[in-house]
Amino acid sequence: MSTISIHRTELLRITHNRSRISRQRFRRTIPLWKLTIDSRSSDTSKKEELSVKISIPPQVDQLRPEGLRFDRLQPPEQEFGHEDRLEFGKFVAREAMVDEEYWTAAWLRAESHWEDRSNERYVDNYKRKFAEQEFNAIKRRCKGMQGQKCSCIVAVKKEEKHIKRSVIKSVVGTLDLSIRYFLQGETFPGEKVKSQLFCSINREGSNRYGYIANLCVAKSARRQGIACNMLRFAVESARLSGVEQLYVHVHKNNSVAQELYQKTGFKIVETGKFESLDDDTYLLQYTR
């Protein structure tokens, strides 16, 4: 019977005790009749050789933080024990108090961020990851960093008799209010100034300002004055903290947001040659 020698794949054998690699080639003698196969079986064997079993490792980051109860009912307002709140219509603006409210605020921001890209592939996974990162960021900011105070303000639905809502269904709007200090030489946030190599931050009351960011409202609750009243509550909260100057950045193409802020009392700051951040945004200041 005729035979033919076939070279097998070259293998590497590692010898640990001598720290060197030895190479071995394996030969195998196969009868020639075994090599006579039809095209179908050849295709099948090729498919089998190319089939690779991939094991996907478990996700390192969970989609939702631990310890949150997503079926938790909205606690009564009396449990919070704070007087700083603004009631308007069917809603109340106040600071977020429980982790479930922080998470819902983060999810609203994720929904707003991906609102115009809802048809993209894996968009739900992106939103979940965005919400998780934003939730952790909110928690860090509200704990205070470098002496700065930050508050996550939410708009929630008012309590109604005989109606129980979960926290997720109660929060309909959110924004961040942070109390910051001007850097040495700054007259407005983000101003490009020439400063010394080593400079200090003046922590006097007159050197503080408020900064508003991450304003968004649930799509189902828009056109009900929620954004305006959250801004009014943020302005009043800043004043109670002894801060008179409030700023916000708005994208130049976002005419709806510009109209909202101007309606609430903000005006565009003429930065002149001292441009701040980038050329795609306007800096607005509360002037009333």
Give the tens place of pLDDT for each residue, 141-150. Answer: 988 765 678 9
Pick from 212, 178, 190: nearest CA to 278: 190
Residue 154 in this model has a pLDDT that exceeds 70: yes
Give residue 10's pLDDT. 44
The DSSP-derived string for 144-201 is -BTTBEEEEEEEEEPPBTTB--BHHHHEEEEEEEEEEEPPTT-SSTTB-----SS---
pLDDT tier for residue 50 given thresholds of 50, 70 and 90: very low
pLDDT tier for residue 63 given thresholds of 50, 70 and 90: very low
Q: Give the range among 9-13, 119-123, 198-202 with minimum mean pLDDT.
A: 9-13
Q: Using an 8 Å Cβ cutoff, are 188 and 203 in contact? A: no
| Range list of H helices, the chain | 39-50, 99-113, 123-143, 167-170, 226-240, 255-264
CA distances from 76 to 155, 164, 184 (A): 14, 10, 45
Percent of the chain predicted with pLDDT > 70: 65
Average pLDDT, the chain: 75
Give residue 12's pLDDT. 43
Give residue 62's pLDDT. 39
Residue 26 in this model has a pLDDT that exceeds 50: no
Tell me what percent of the chain is helix, strand and coil, each rounded to the nearest 5. 30, 30, 40
Annotated catalytic residue 261:
yes
Burial, 110: exposed, middle or buried (Cβ in 10 Å; 0-12, 13-18, 19+)? buried
Give the tens place of pLDDT for each residue, 109-143. Answer: 999 988 888 778 888 899 999 999 999 999 999 88
Residue 266 in this model has a pLDDT that exceeds 60: yes
* Residue written as token pair 């603004």: 86
Higher pLDDT among residues 101 and 200, named by residue: 101
CA–CA separation, 176 and 212 (whole Å): 6
Q: How many helices (H) and strands (E) does the chain have?
A: 6, 12
Query: Mean pLDDT over residues 50-66, rounded?
Result: 39
pLDDT tier for residue 184 given thresholds of 50, 70 and 90: confident
Residue 102 in this model has a pLDDT that exceeds 90: yes
Residue 172 in this model has a pLDDT that exceeds 50: yes
CA–CA separation, 154 and 234 (whole Å): 10
The domain defined by 86-95+145-190+201-287 carries CATH number 3.30.70.940:
no
Give residue 286's pLDDT. 93
Cross-strand bridge partners of residue 191: 276
Give the tens place of pLDDT for each residue, 203-229. Answer: 555 688 999 999 999 999 999 999 999
Residue 271 in this model has a pLDDT that exceeds 80: no
Query: Mean pLDDT over residues 3-17, rounded?
Result: 44
CA–CA separation, 230 and 237 (whole Å): 10
Higher pLDDT among residues 276 and 265, named by residue: 265
Among 102, 261, 282, 286, the active-site one is 261
Give residue 278's pLDDT. 58
Q: Where are the domains of the chain?
A: 86-95+145-190+201-287
Query: Mean pLDDT over residues 175-183, rounded?
Result: 89
Give residue 204's pLDDT. 58
Pick from 74, 78, 210: nearest CA to 154: 74
Residue 273 in this model has a pLDDT that exceeds 80: no
Give residue 25's pLDDT. 45
Handedness of CA 159, 86, 208, 183 (dihedral sign): positive
* Residue written as token pair 């097998």: 8
Residue 194 in this model has a pLDDT that exceeds 70: no
